[in-house]
Structure 1
Amino acid sequence: MAAISSLDPSPASRAKPSMDQADPSFATTLAHGLDLLAAFRNASGSLSNADLAQHTGLSRPTVSRLTYTLAQLGYLKRDAKGRFELGLGILAAAYPVLSALKVRQLARPLMRDFAAYAGGTVSIAMPLGLDFIYVETLRTTDAVPHVPDVGFTGTLATTAVGRSLLSLYTKDELDAHVARVKAERPEEADYVQTRTLPDIELCKERGFAVSLGEWRREIFGVAAPLYRTPTGDCLSVNCGIPSFRFSAEQIERECGPRILGLARSIRSLVANG
């Protein structure tokens, strides 16, 4: 299966949820500041005010005021060329979220074993809008084509972990997700209808999902849903495996049932932890 790279939007095309900015409770300036920080999600390096204006659609004077403020607060910092990078304030803000996810510590030994078996990267993911975000990741070797870390994001549509997360959604939640894809990422809409939705149903039947080079040609993905938290958050476990290590048939026949077993073991640890 060829990689569907065109369905992985660039930062500039990652549309944000529609907000009624006429709502007096909506803090537009705060939203714009958060938009600036979100622009770094898929940036490969530092960004200038001009880059940020292009990413967000905000005017240069607005961007300049926001970057100055965010830098003063420690959420951004300037590099030697005067461009902006994320500051340590971001990490400090994220710490309470990560530390509250006890599954990260409990699952690590099991994830390490699976990574050694598969020769890939094992991660725990949660939904983030139309994307997923890794909240834990572990690998036993760097000799793989893709080495994501905590905080890495990608589209739900073409990935095994995306399908496994979406399998935990209620019907109303899934309908709302599809409507949002149509509104914000129309380039993904047909793919979601013809490939993602059927694969979600298949994941519900057998307990795991696969993606055979759809997201990146050189990576096979296999994932299994974990659970929903009492507040409704969804978690799944995923393994990205170099395509040369297993055939597509082996991914389906061997890796799928194994990651289903991994998910069951993690759930048991969490229930008894």
Structure 2
Amino acid sequence: MRASSPEIDTENTAANTDVVRVLSRGLVLLKAFCPRNAPLTNSELSEATGLPKPTVSRLTATLMRLGYLDYLPGKTQYRLGNAALSLGFGTLSTLDVRLRARERMQRFADEEDLLVVLSVRDGMVMVCQVVCRGRGALTVRLEVGSRVALPFAAMGRAWAASLDPSVRATVLSEISQHFPEQDFQLEMEEAAAQIRKSGFCMTVSELEPDLMGAATVINLARAQGPYVLGCAGPAFRYPRERCEAELGPKMMALRRQLEEDALGPVPTPHIVEPA
């Protein structure tokens, strides 16, 4: 006797699909406030996310009621509320990346007079989690929370180049869909060749004019997935030859130090209790 197929609850399936869609749109809306949590109106949120304004109005009302958004009545604007910020701090509390890495990164930034960044991949962008500046790197426009288009940055290319070839092919397909105006096949192949040769890859004037970038994937113990360690500075001070011969090896040494630090005990922040 053939087993009968279970009946499909089309009503519950449709309802679940609607819930997932609403959740997805709500998360897209929250991400629109990154990286600086600047106040935004419903119209600005609609333009930033591509969602219809009536949908945005319903979402902001719900998210405000749940504490994920604060409403600024004088300007009819919203910004991230404490509930949303708690989610971010909750994630950071499970990682000791910033406490472990910042001191060495800042020392490296000062010694080499560069911008030094620790980032993670989020879709088609690299999100800066730690940013350290040397005195001469003040003009590089990256801050904590900045989101850099993946295929244009050395950090994004280092992440993609370090993937298994079959996985990298899938990522390249996604990149071509998100950035149809430019073919990054050759750039990604060059980055993969650089990673195989020396462990890091470089870009010149890709992210900003006359800006050099170098990056390497870094595996930190107990971290959720790979991070990317990158640095950037004026291309006239760090041409490709100097980057290959001097800066890249120094950055790789910093990477090894950070990976070794991550294996040690978690440092405890010094908290001063109120009198």
TM-score (normalised: structure 2):
0.81
Distance (whole Å) between structure 2 residues aligned to residue 38 and residue 114 of structure 1 = 31
Distance (whole Å) between structure 1 residues aligned to residue 90 and residue 33 of structure 2 = 21
> Cα–Cα, structure 1 residues 22 and 243, in superposed 2: closer, same or farther, change >3 Å?
farther
Q: Which amino acid aligns with 2:55?
A: T
Shift of 1:180: 1.3
Distance (whole Å) between structure 1 residues aligned to residue 95 and residue 160 of structure 2 = 20
Deviates more, 1:41-50 or 1:104-113: 41-50
Distance (whole Å) between structure 2 residues aligned to residue 52 and residue 134 of structure 1 = 22
- Quick one: higher RCO (CA 8 Å, sep 6+), 1 or 2? 1
Greater gyration radius: 2
Q: Could you tell me whether the CA contact under 8 Å between 1:121 and 1:138 is conserved in 2?
A: yes
Shift of 1:64: 0.5
1:138-196 deviation digits (Å, cap 9, x = unpaired): 224475212533322111211111122223322232122112122333224x1x20212
Distance (whole Å) between structure 1 residues aligned to residue 201 and residue 167 of structure 2 = 19
Q: Which amino acid aligns with 1:52?
A: L
The answer on 1:167 being equivalent to 2:161 is yes
Distance (whole Å) between structure 1 residues aligned to residue 211 and residue 181 of structure 2 = 22
From 19, 23, 32, the counterpart of 2:25: 32
Question: Which residue is equivalent to 1:76?
Answer: 69
Q: Could you tell me whether the CA contact under 8 Å between 2:154 and 2:203 is conserved in 1?
A: yes
Count residues with an aligned counterpart. Answer: 251
Tell me the secondary structure at the aligned position of residue 127 of structure 1: strand
TM-score (normalised: structure 1):
0.81
1:219-257 deviation digits (Å, cap 9, x = unpaired): 221112212767871112111223454334322321111
Q: Could you tell me whether the CA contact under 8 Å between 2:160 and 2:188 is conserved in 1?
A: no
From 167, 182, 197, the counterpart of 2:189: 197
Q: Could you tell me whether the CA contact under 8 Å between 2:35 and 2:144 is conserved in 1?
A: no
Question: Which residue is equivalent to 1:104?
Answer: 98
The answer on 1:128 being equivalent to 2:103 is no
Q: Could you tell me whether the CA contact under 8 Å between 2:162 and 2:192 is conserved in 1?
A: no
From 150, 172, 178, the counterpart of 1:184: 178
1:1-273 to 2 correspondence within 5 Å?
24=16, 27-41=20-34, 45-79=38-72, 80-141=74-135, 144-188=138-182, 190=183, 192-227=184-219, 233-273=225-265
1:46-70 deviation digits (Å, cap 9, x = unpaired): 3221122223232221111111122
Distance (whole Å) between structure 1 residues aligned to residue 148 and residue 15 of structure 2 = 30
> Cα–Cα, structure 1 residues 32 and 220, in superposed 2: closer, same or farther, change >3 Å?
same
Q: Could you tell me whether the CA contact under 8 Å between 1:130 and 1:177 is conserved in 2?
A: no
Q: Which amino acid aligns with 2:22?
A: T
Distance (whole Å) between structure 2 residues aligned to residue 32 and residue 269 of structure 1 = 39
Q: Could you tell me whether the CA contact under 8 Å between 1:209 and 1:224 is conserved in 2?
A: yes
Q: CA RMSD in A?
A: 2.6
Tell me the secondary structure at the aligned position of residue 56 of structure 2: helix
Q: Which amino acid aligns with 1:170?
A: D
Q: Which amino acid aligns with 1:162?
A: G
Structure 1 spans left out of the alignment, 5+ residues: 1-20
> Cα–Cα, structure 1 residues 141 and 98, in superposed 2: closer, same or farther, change >3 Å?
farther
Q: Percent identity?
A: 28
Distance (whole Å) between structure 1 residues aligned to residue 223 and residue 107 of structure 2 = 30
Q: Which amino acid aligns with 1:176?
A: T
Q: Could you tell me whether the CA contact under 8 Å between 1:45 and 1:85 is conserved in 2?
A: yes
Q: Which amino acid aligns with 1:205?
A: K
Q: Could you tell me whether the CA contact under 8 Å between 2:95 and 2:223 is conserved in 1?
A: no
